[in-house]
Structure 1
Amino acid sequence: MKKTVLFLAVSLMLIGCKSVQNQSKNSKELQELVTVMQGHYSSEKQSIADKDYYNISLRMTPIWKAKGNYLFVEQAIFDKQDKPYRVRIYKVSQRGDEFISEIYTLKDEKAWIGKWATPEAYDQLTEADIELKQGCEVKLKRIGKNKFEGATGDKTCPSELRGASWANSKVTVTETQILSWDQGFDKDGKQVWGATKGGYEFIKIQ
């Protein structure tokens, strides 16, 4: 009886140690992803090489650090950064060996534009002020040091932009750049918005 109890105690201890090790590994890789995502990016180089692409500014600013891994995101024509055409909040988490970037819209996005210069301002933003875009999360896998790759689900992200029925995003994140290909499709599967040749190449400039 004593041997059985001792065996169970040792087994539980080993399981506990393994769980802590996995959590530590998960936390390390999750922080690696969040770290490489944040920053200021530009697609200027691509826009010069190919006139079908615009020079786009992409900013990802960490906020709400006490609540988890959140990024405030602004995307704008580079010369019009005071008028971004996309304002979002990303919540980045991990499930097993998969990383999830959930997308939230803001109910009053104009009130928060440009606050990245003073990130503490976002502390006044509450979860009641944002809304989850169901089905639009991006699922990523770590494919190397400081390199992650993923996409949205197949036809899971609804879109009404320019007659679209659904949208799809493919993303590659590295230490120096983000490759992002967003496309909208109508109910017949015809592309109605987004780049057609390939994704935007955002180079980290800050």
Structure 2
Amino acid sequence: MGEGDSESDNGWSKARGLVIKTLVVVGGALFIRRLTKSTTRRDHARFVSHSLSGEKNSKEQASRDPDHYFNLRMVACPAAEMVDGSKVLYFEQAFWRTPQKPFRQRLYMVKPCPKETKCDVELSTYAIRDMEEYKNFCDRSKDQRPLPEEVIRDIAEHLTTIHLKRCGRGKRCLYEGTTPPEGFPNNWNNAAYCTSEMAVLKNNEIHMWDRGYDDDGNQVWGVKEGPYEFKPASTSSFKDKCSSVNLLSPLSLEKRIEGSFVLTE
């Protein structure tokens, strides 16, 4: 092999080494970028909407502590979408043995928090103008439900708003939030105001704690021991597949949320 051939081989080796180093650097940068891919507030709102939707119950909690908790059935499903992209969900609660007789019916409005607020998702609760028309809304076929435009017209009194934030690393929850300390006006069972707390956990588990207080700060309704723990029903009669809402895959989005470090609008 001549001297020219040796120099050529050395030049090729150096060039190949430079290419490999470049690929390693670029690949590493892409990998880091993938890990730190930002999750927008709109992504968070979609995830919370998905987590709230479906049929859940407090069966496990009621079995564990029957003195303080009932086996309640909670159902929510997409009902409409506002012009600003906010999702409207129909929500109801009933005793598990009598699902056809809900004792609480609400409309949830889920949307991203405004840029100026220190939260990710804003969840507002509204009364319904004619609750009888919406009874068992989620269990009906879509052609038997009020139309989306009717749902929007039937949004009545604003009841509460919870500002949800992503949970810190190491916590069980994905999101948690509460109403302001002063709560919202409420006159049920001699209350003067009420407060609400919510946590969204993995696998669409929801923890909810609603309480009412009188003017002196005494609790007059709501469980005192801690939040209700609603887990997805193992054998659900819930028929709606949430097809009316454009949602990302819940599993892939959950991974993005857990692994995201940057929040952008």
Which TM class, normalised by the smaller chain length? 0.7 to 0.9
TM-score scaled to structure 2, two decimals?
Answer: 0.64
Matched, 1:116 2:132: no
TM-score scaled to structure 1, two decimals?
Answer: 0.81
Q: Residue 173 of structure 1 is aligned with which of 176, 200, 218?
A: 200
Superimposed CA distance per residue, residues 156-204 of structure 1 (whole angstroms, 9 cap, x where no aligned partner): 3111111110001111012331111111100000001100110111111
Trace 1:146-157 onto structure 2 (pairs within 5 A): 147-157=174-184
Unpaired runs of at least 5, structure 2: 1-36, 237-265
Q: Residue 140 of structure 1 is aligned with which of 151, 164, 169?
A: 164
Q: 1:5: which partner in 2? A: none
Q: Residue 191 of structure 1 is aligned with which of 207, 210, 219?
A: 219
Q: 2:243: which partner in 1? A: none
1:39 deviates by 1.1
Trace 1:1-206 onto structure 2 (pairs within 5 A): 25-51=40-66, 52-65=68-81, 67=83, 68-95=86-113, 96=115, 97-117=119-139, 118-119=141-142, 121-123=145-147, 125-134=150-159, 136-143=160-167, 147-176=174-203, 177-205=205-233, 206=236
In the alignment, the residues of structure 1 paired with residue 182 and residue 217 of structure 2 have an alpha-carbon distance, to the nearest angstrom, of: 10
Structure 1 runs of 4+ aligned residues shifted over 4 Å read: none
1:115 deviates by 2.1
In the alignment, the residues of structure 1 paired with residue 152 and residue 47 of structure 2 have an alpha-carbon distance, to the nearest angstrom, of: 25
In the alignment, the residues of structure 2 paired with residue 111 and residue 137 of structure 1 have an alpha-carbon distance, to the nearest angstrom, of: 24
One-letter amino acid of the counterpart of residue 227, structure 2: G
Number of aligned residue pairs: give it: 184
Q: Which is bigger in relative contact order (C-alpha 8 A, separation at least 6)?
A: 2
Aligned 8 A contact 2:42 2:111 in 1: no
Unpaired runs of at least 5, structure 1: 1-20
In the alignment, the residues of structure 1 paired with residue 222 and residue 209 of structure 2 have an alpha-carbon distance, to the nearest angstrom, of: 8
Identity of paired residues, percent?
26
In the alignment, the residues of structure 2 paired with residue 168 and residue 138 of structure 1 have an alpha-carbon distance, to the nearest angstrom, of: 9
